[in-house]
Amino acid sequence: MKSFSQYKFILFMCIIVLIIVLIFQTGCIGDSPKSTMPPNTTQDTKMTEMNLTQIQVGDYSSLLGTWKEIAYADNPFDGTGLQWHTGRSDTVSSTLSVSTYKIDFNESAMIIQGNALTDGMGSHLLSFVNDGNSLDAYADSTNVIYWNITFYPKGAANNLEPNNGVQIDNTKNIIVVLYSGMQALTVFVQE
């Protein structure tokens, strides 16, 4: 059973996400652009500089290539919070594929196209925060369960705080996917 302070923290995070959505809301949901590539394909290219401005408007061409899960964190719900692990999960490993106009996490469990994120609960408006160092994409907070995707260009400092000796190498482009429903966070690097 969750303590009152855990519920306060969850409520606080939901309020923060709602405020961010209201402040940085962009565009509207509707017919989001469709990828012309098959859903699970990527184009092998050399790692290019991640273009945060292009990503924000739905152009993922600077992300093309192979993405590999290098670390993940999950909450065992024993009071210790997120526990970090190196490599891929033996039980629930994650995939990330990118085409010019589509980002696909875990074979369509979550798809980003333009300013919309689609998951099992439907389509959600994305809001963005670009601080010049990284780009955060937040799904709207109308649901208790939310997504946060953070893009870190090669060399950028990140705000991840891994434990258990896990190190996150910032010499490559990084995408971090947070899913609040399972309190799981997955870190991918561009090969």
Residue 43 has pLDDT above 70, yes or no: no
Domain that holds residue 46: 4-190
The overall pTM is greater than 0.95:
no
| Sheet (strand 102-105) strand order | 83-86, 67-74, 184-190, 174-179, 147-152, 135-139, 122-130, 116-119, 110-113, 102-105, 96-99
Instruction: Please report the pLDDT score of residue 146 as a whole number.
Output: 87
**Tens of pLDDT along 52-111?**
999 999 999 999 999 999 999 999 999 999 999 999 876 677 999 999 999 999 999 999
Residue 44 has pLDDT above 60, yes or no: no
* Count of domains forming the chain: 1
- Residues 6 or more apart in contact with residue 44 via CB below 8 angstroms: 64, 65, 66
Assign 110 to helix, strand or coil. Answer: strand
